[in-house]
Structure formats: C-alpha cells, structure tokens
Amino acid sequence: MNARPRAEPFRRRGWAVPSISTCIAVAAVGVAGWLFFALAAQYLRTYDLGREAARLERRKQELLIQNATLYAEIRRLRTDDRYIERLAREQLGMVKPGEIEFVIIPAPSDHRAARPKGPEPGGPRQSDRAASPLVRRLEAEITSLRGWLRTTVSKVAPGLLR
C-alpha cells in the first residue's frame, strides 16, 4: 500500500497558526492603542473647549463693562442738558441763536529760519519743494478771508482790533 504522509490540517506553506494566547495579546494591544488615541483625542477636545470657554468668559466681562458704560451714557443723555449742549457744540458744530462762531487759524510760522542751513541728510522735504497750485490758491483764499474778517470786525466793534 502506498501510504501518503498526512498533512497537518492547520499548516500552509510554512505559516504557523497563532495560538490563542498570541491572538488575545494582539487584540489587547489593538484595544489599548485604540483607547489611547480615543482618550488623547477626547483630552485635546476638552482642552480646546476649556480655552474657548475662558475666552468667551473674558468677552462676556468686556461686553458687560461696555453695556454698563452705554447705560450710563444713556442716563446722562436723558438727564443732563448741559452735556447734550456740549456734545452738540463739539461734535455737530452747533451754536445758539445769536452766537457767532469764530475759528482762529494760527499764522504759519517760518520753520526754515530756525533750522540750520545746509542740505538735509534725507534729501529735500515736501515742505521745501515749490507749493502746488492748490496750496497757493488756498493761501490766497485764506488771506482774502482774513482781510474780510478784519474789515467786518472793525465795522462791528471798532475798538476790538489794535
């Protein structure tokens, strides 16, 4: 009789079937790795939410302060007539009937005389260059307005100008 050697039922091409303890160890390592990454992701999410909560709390405090300031401004606008008058004069340029508003424009000072003569290290400045036609026109208009103002004031209040 020709007896064939019996092949082992669980062996194929040189690969051994892992034992149950090896399968359990691999499964335990896989579960531990999954738990580590899941817990790390959850920790990062919790950390980010904590930072966001702190930022929102700071923003809430800022808004509460701003809200209180605005309520105080509203109360003042409802009760203080002098405050409203001051705001109307400063922000809107309003005057009372019969008042005349004078705007005093300081005379241009000659800064060139105070500076030492000679070239500047950075080169010529914009003020040293020739004035543009618009600037010359504005200077002429201002000069004519000054003359008109002097004649008007001298007619209205002759002793006011020296």
This prediction has a pTM of: 0.41
Q: What angle do CA 100, 104, 106 make, to 5 degrees?
A: 175
Which amino acid, one-letter code, is at 89?
R
Per-residue pLDDT tens listing for the chain (162 residues): 565 655 555 555 667 777 899 999 999 999 999 999 999 999 999 999 999 999 999 999 999 999 999 999 999 999 998 998 888 888 888 888 888 878 788 888 765 555 555 555 554 455 545 567 777 788 888 888 877 777 777 776 666 554
C-alpha span between 13 and 15 (Å, rounded): 6
